[in-house]
């Protein structure tokens, strides 16, 4: 067995972790089409991956309005709470901890996915010109409408209810998805936020929505069971900012005041190169945060071991390697080859490419 620090125990706020390997949130589009709930298939999938010190679920919408892709799960209805309870019970029985990633997509949606066929919402009526999946094909995201100031408190209340539902579903905490061009990220960035009220203009205003969401969720959970994901230098979903270093320095300073369980950062482009643009300084952002730091994006074993040993991060989140390697932590510890990923089965479908990847012994991992 390897004796690197990566495989040693740690704490993320109040959450005790058996190792420092985290399963990153991974959208797999396998929720029930009729009610966006998870079921026994997801319970098996996550339990198979309970070798991770911490599992972060796939992003889960806080409301029907927060949905941006077909067959993604929610955490706003009783059926969804009951479905997630099966998942948390299975993961806990298999010996790991699990938090749910809370999600509102904002403008990254399509009218066919919105209640009553309405327009998606955003800080400002600026289209993303990105792509989404409507259940039949990939389509360009619909142009959004700008949120009225009076509507914002309602979305904050949706985050609070989702956090309360996550407690009832048995999670160990929650992660706020403030990355990848979704609603909170849209408020943070000056390209997508052209508001002239208390939520727009200077960065002090653009972080207001994030602060109100955090205040609500921390009130439900306590700060030491709440994490946040940021992607300061990623332009995924056609998001951009004129000065991301300044914008996210302000956001990280704000988050640092809470005493959170962790800060989860996408290092570079989401699912792409790790390069940081000119004027960007990832280390400077990490240095503004006094708590547990989680790094994410294209880590391999050697990178992860070095990052934790040197203290540049405390935890490392692996994404796609966990899809095809349910026993990823075991494989990393033993430093053995990984299964290849089948890209054709990433989104939608059944157990194929989901719960049938083999463990080192050659058989799919059993999940009680």
Residue pLDDT, tens place only, 263-288: 999 999 999 999 999 999 999 999 99
Residue pLDDT, tens place only, 169-202: 999 999 999 999 999 999 999 999 999 999 999 9
On whether the CB atoms of residues 354 and 345 are closer than 8 A, the answer is: yes
Task: Report the C-alpha gap between 210 and 233 in whole angstroms.
Answer: 18
Domain count, the chain: 1
Domain hosting 219: range is 5-345
Instruction: Mark the ranges of the chain whose per-residue pLDDT is less than 70.
Output: 1-2, 362-368
On whether the CB atoms of residues 138 and 130 are closer than 8 A, the answer is: no
Query: Quick check: is 185 in a domain?
Result: yes
Task: Pinpoint the alpha helices (H) of the chain.
Answer: 40-48, 78-93, 149-168, 183-188, 203-206, 208-221, 244-256, 282-287, 301-310, 320-324, 328-334
Question: Three-state SS for 258?
Answer: coil
Query: Please, what is the average pLDDT of the chain?
Result: 97
For 171, the enclosing helix (H) or strand (E) is: none
On whether the CB atoms of residues 317 and 308 are closer than 8 A, the answer is: no
pLDDT of residue 2: 58
DSSP state of 74: B
- Crossing angle (nearest 10°) for helices 149-168 and 78-93: 40
Query: Quick check: is 364 in a domain?
Result: no
CATH of the domain at 167: 3.20.20.70
Query: Quick check: is 157 in a domain?
Result: yes
DSSP state of 223: G
Task: Report the C-alpha gap between 244 and 188 in whole angstroms.
Answer: 9
Task: Report the C-alpha gap between 190 and 204 in whole angstroms.
Answer: 12
Task: Report the C-alpha gap between 66 and 64 in whole angstroms.
Answer: 5
Q: Are strands 262-266 and 226-230 parallel, antiparallel or unpaired?
A: parallel
pLDDT of residue 226: 99
Query: Quick check: is 356 in a domain?
Result: no
> How deeply is 278 buried, as exposed, middle or buried, from its count of CB atoms within 10 A (0-12, 13-18, 19+)?
exposed
Query: Quick check: is 355 in a domain?
Result: no
Comparing CA positions, the residue from 366, 271, 298, 368 lying closest to residue 327 is: 366
Query: Quick check: is 161 in a domain?
Result: yes
Query: Quick check: is 284 in a domain?
Result: yes
Residue pLDDT, tens place only, 291-331: 999 999 999 999 999 999 999 999 999 999 999 999 999 99
pLDDT of residue 364: 58
Query: Quick check: is 361 in a domain?
Result: no
Annotated active-site positions, please?
182
């Amino acid at each position: 067995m390897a004796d690197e620090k990566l495989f040693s125990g740690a704490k993320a706020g109040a959450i005790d972790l058996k190792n420092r390997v985290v399963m990153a949130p991974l959208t797999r589009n396998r929720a029930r089409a009729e009610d966006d709930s998870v079921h026994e298939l997801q319970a098996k999938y996550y339990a198979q991956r309970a070798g991770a010190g911490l599992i972060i679920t796939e992003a889960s919408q806080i409301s029907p309005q927060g949905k941006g892709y077909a067959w993604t799960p929610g955490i706003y209805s009783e059926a969804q709470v009951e479905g997630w309870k099966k998942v948390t019970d299975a993961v806990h029985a298999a010996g790991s901890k699990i938090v749910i990633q809370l999600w509102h997509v904002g403008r990254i949606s399509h009218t066919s996915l919105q209640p009553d066929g309405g327009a998606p919402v955003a800080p400002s009526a600026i289209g993303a010109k990105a792509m989404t999946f409507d259940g039949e094909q990939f389509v360009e995201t619909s142009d959004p409408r700008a949120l009225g100031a009076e509507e914002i408190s309602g979305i904050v209340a949706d985050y609070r209810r989702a956090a309360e539902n996550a407690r009832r579903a048995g999670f160990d905490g929650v992660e706020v998805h403030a990355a990848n061009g979704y609603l909170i990220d849209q408020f943070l960035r000056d390209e997508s936020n052209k508001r002239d009220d208390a939520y727009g203009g200077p960065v002090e205003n653009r972080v207001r929505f994030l602060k109100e969401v955090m205040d609500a969720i921390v009130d439900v959970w306590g700060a030491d069971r709440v994490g946040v994901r940021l992607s300061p230098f990623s332009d995924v979903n056609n998001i951009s900012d004129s000065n991301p270093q300044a914008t996210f320095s302000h956001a990280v300073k704000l988050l640092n005041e809470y005493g959170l369980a962790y800060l989860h950062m996408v290092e570079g482009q989401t699912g792409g190169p790790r390069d940081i643009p000119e004027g960007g300084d990832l280390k400077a952002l990490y240095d503004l945060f006094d708590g547990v730091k989680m790094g994410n994006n294209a880590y391999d074993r050697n990178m992860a071991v070095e990052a934790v040993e040197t203290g540049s991060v405390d935890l490392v989140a692996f994404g796609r390697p966990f899809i095809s390697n349910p026993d990823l932590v075991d494989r990393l510890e033993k430093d053995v080859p990984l299964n290849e990923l089948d890209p054709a089965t990433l989104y939608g479908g059944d157990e194929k490419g989901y719960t049938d990847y083999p463990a080192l012994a050659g058989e799919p991992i059993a999940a009680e």
